[in-house]
Amino acid sequence: MKFFRTLSELRGAHDLPQKLQRLGDFAAALERHESVEFDTEAPVVPLGPPSYSAICKIVHGSEVPRRRNLGSGEGRIIFLHALAHIEYSAIDLALDSAYRFRDMPPQFYEDWLNVALDEARHFAMLQSLLGELGSGYGALPVHTGIHDAMVRSEDSLRRRMVAAHRHLEANGLDAHPELARKMSLFDDPMAERIRDALKIIFDDEIAHVAAGDFWYRYACTLDGSNPEDFAADIEMAIPGTKIGGKKNLNLDARRRAGFSEHDLAVMSRPVA
C-alpha cells in the first residue's frame, strides 16, 4: 500500500460508507505496520473541487439554511447537517495535510491520520442521528468555507496549521458551551443524544487544536517566523476574518489546546 497515494485517494473519495471503511482499513494496516510504502516521490497535486461536491449542492455561505428552533425536527436537521458538513470537511482537511506536506517527522503523519479517524467517527455519529430524523448528509446545501481555507493554505505548512487546523477548529471550541446550553433546554431522548454527541466532539477537538498549535509552532521554527505573528496567515487563508474582538473565547479549552496568553489577548482585544 502506498501511503501518499492512498491519502490522496481517500481525500477525493465520496462514496460515504466506502470512504469511511477504507479510511479505517488504512489506519488499521498502518497500526499493524503492514507493507506501507512511503512513496515520497508521489506528486503533490493542487486541490481540485471538494470531494463533497459529488454529494451536496454547494451554495454561497449566505444561502446555507439557518437553524432557528433546536426543539423542532427541522431545526435539528439543519443544525446536525451543518455540523456533519464541518466534520466531513475536517476528514478531508486532515487527510490533505498528511498528504501535502512531505519530509515531516513520523508523528506529523500519525497525528493527522488520527485526527481524520476522529472526524470520520464524529461524522458517522451525526450521520446516524440525521438518519433517525429522516435525513442524511447531502440533503441540504453547504458552503465551501473550510475547503477554501485549505486551497489558500496548500502552499504553506505554517498557514495551513494556524489557519485551518488551529483557528477554524478552535472556533468550534468557542461555540460548544452555548450550543450545549441551548440543547439542555430540551429533555427529550434525541436532545440528550445530540448533547452527548456534542460533548464527545468537543473533548476530541481540544486534541485536534493542540495538534494544530504544536505543528504551527514547529512550522515557525522551520522558517524562523514568530508564532505570535499569526494574524496575517489567517487573514490570507480566510479573507475577511477579523482577528480580535472575539467575545466568546473558550479560554479554558483554548489554554488546554496550547494557546498562549498573548494569543488570547490578541483575539479578544477590541477591534475598530
CA–CA dist 40, 51 (Å, integer)? 23
Does 165 bind Fe ion (CB under 5 A)? Our answer is no
Beta carbon of residue 208, minimum distance to Fe ion (angstroms, whole number): 4
Q: Decide whether 122 or 166 has the Cβ nearer to Fe ion.
A: 122
Place of cell 455519529: 125
Residues 88, 145 contacting (CB under 8 angstroms): no
What mask, x for binding Fe ion by CB under 5 A, covers residues 69 to 88? ------------------x-
Q: Out of 150, 208, 211, 233, point to the residue binding Fe ion (CB under 5 A).
A: 208
Nearest residue to 82 via CA among 52, 54, 118, 116: 52
Of 18-26, 29-37, 160-168, 199-207, the window that binds Fe ion (rule: CB under 5 A) is 199-207
Compare residues 55 and 116 and give the one whose CB is closer to Fe ion: 116
Of the two residues 87 and 263, which places its CB atom closer to Fe ion in the complex? 87
Beta-bridged to residue 58, according to DSSP, are 142
- Phi, psi for 20 (deg, rounded to 5): -65, -40
Q: How far is the CB of 89 from Fe ion (least distance, A)?
A: 10
The one segment of 72-80, 100-108, 159-167, 203-211 that binds Fe ion by CB under 5 A? 203-211
**DSSP label of 20:** H
Minimum distance from residue 202 beta carbon to Fe ion (Å): 9
Q: How far is the CB of 91 from Fe ion (least distance, A)?
A: 9
Specify the stretch interacting with Fe ion by CB under 5 A; choose among 13-21, 162-170, 192-200, 227-235: 162-170
Least spacing, CB of residue 87 vs Fe ion, in Å: 5
Of residues 144, 120, 110, 87, the one with CA closest to residue 10: 120
Please report, as residue ranges, which positions from 105 to 124 form the binding site for Fe ion (by CB under 5 A): 119, 122
Task: Provide, rounded to whole angstroms, the least separation between the CB of residue 123 and Fe ion.
Answer: 8
How far apart are the C-alpha atoms of 104 and 111, rounded to whole Å?
Answer: 11
Cα-flanking dihedrals φ and ψ of residue 18, to 5°?
Answer: -65, -40
Measured from each CB, the residue nearest to Fe ion is 208
* Residue at 26: amino acid letter: F
Question: For residues 181, 185, 186 and 187, what is the CA-based torsion angle, rounded to 10 degrees?
Answer: 90
Q: How far is the CB of 182 from Fe ion (least distance, A)?
A: 19
Vertex 13: Cα angle to 77 and 111 (nearest 5): 85
Of the candidates 78, 24, 85, 31, the one whose C-alpha atom is nearest the C-alpha of residue 53 is 85
* Contact status, residue 19 vs residue 50, Cβ threshold 8 Å: no
In the complex, which residues of this chain contact Fe ion (CB under 5 A)? Answer: 87, 90, 119, 122, 169, 205, 208
